Structure 1
Amino acid sequence: MDQFAQAAAAYYRNFALVAAEHGLTFMQGKMLSLLREPMSMRSLAALLGCDASNVTLIVDRLEARRLVHREVNRHDRRIKNIAVTDEGTEAIRVIRAEMMSNLTALEQLDAPQRHALQNLLAQVFPGSGD
């Protein structure tokens, strides 16, 4: 578990540094990376492990940069979903690409090793790749 914790910490440090190079805080970048489909503020708060009021501030800042937008939930008009814009999708694509260029140790793994690592992570953390 110590090695896993160290790997996770290194990943998040790298993520925070690359996000900062693009003018995003760690939490702003993390929110963008989670928005593969529109989500409610409550869902985002749960995934980010923070209070809904914090999510509102993060969304406000991302919306001001046109990286996300609010939209009405089609099932319940009282709920606002947060959706990533094309600009937000491009921002997170660039961040992920830069992160991969910083993680050169992954390049040492061949395709079967990468697949095995992916399978092991899916076993340890079911649903994390969704």
Structure 2
Amino acid sequence: MARMVALFHKEYEEAAAARSLTGAQAKVLGLLRLGPLPMRQIAQTLSCEPSNITGIVDRLEVRGLVERQADPGDRRIKRVVATEAGRAASSELRASLHFAREPLAALGQEERADLRDLLRRVVDGAAGPTTGGSARSSHPSG
């Protein structure tokens, strides 16, 4: 798994750099694909200090990729919104990532669903104790 994560991380960083983005900037743009987010939530999702997110958002804003807006429910909260250019950059970056697509293309739809479910169990298990059960061992562990 460490090799898989390292390969994905390397490709992601290279794809971001090809667009003159840092990995952190690309991650923020990726998060904003889901819609506007409060700066604090971005920091929590990326497990970093809010002051770091401020710097990242500042640099993205200067490039016209994001803008800050007051939250309609609480004007003290600043939400970050991807601009059209930011959404395009994020889409272009995602489209350029081949590592995640190509290896998974070798798997059938049921195998991809099995892999997703197994990985979800691994991630959920890392968050705390599980109630039992064992992973199927019929899948190769490349």
Q: TM-score range by the shorter chain?
A: 0.7 to 0.9
2:20 is aligned, of 6, 19, 23, to 23
Partner of 1:8: 5
SS at match of 1:100: coil
Partner of 1:54: 52
The total of aligned residue pairs comes to: 123
Q: Work out the percentage of aligned pairs sharing the same amino acid.
A: 38
5+ unaligned residues in a row in structure 1: which ranges? none
Moved over 4 A (4+): none
Partner of 1:70: 68
- Scaled by the length of structure 2, what TM-score is found? 0.78
RMSD: 1.7
Distance in 2, Cα, partners of 1:13 & 1:40: 28
- Scaled by the length of structure 1, what TM-score is found? 0.85
Larger radius of gyration: 2
Deviation (angstroms), 1:45: 0.9
1:95-116 C-alpha deviation (Å, 9 max, x unpaired):
1111036752222112222222
Deviation (angstroms), 1:57: 0.8
5+ unaligned residues in a row in structure 2: which ranges? 125-142
Distance in 1, Cα, partners of 2:114 & 2:19: 32
Letter in 2 for 1:31: V
Higher helix share: 1
Letter in 1 for 2:60: L
1:102–1:112 distance in 2 versus 1, CA, 3 Å: closer
1:50-97 C-alpha deviation (Å, 9 max, x unpaired):
111111110011111111110001111111100111211111111111
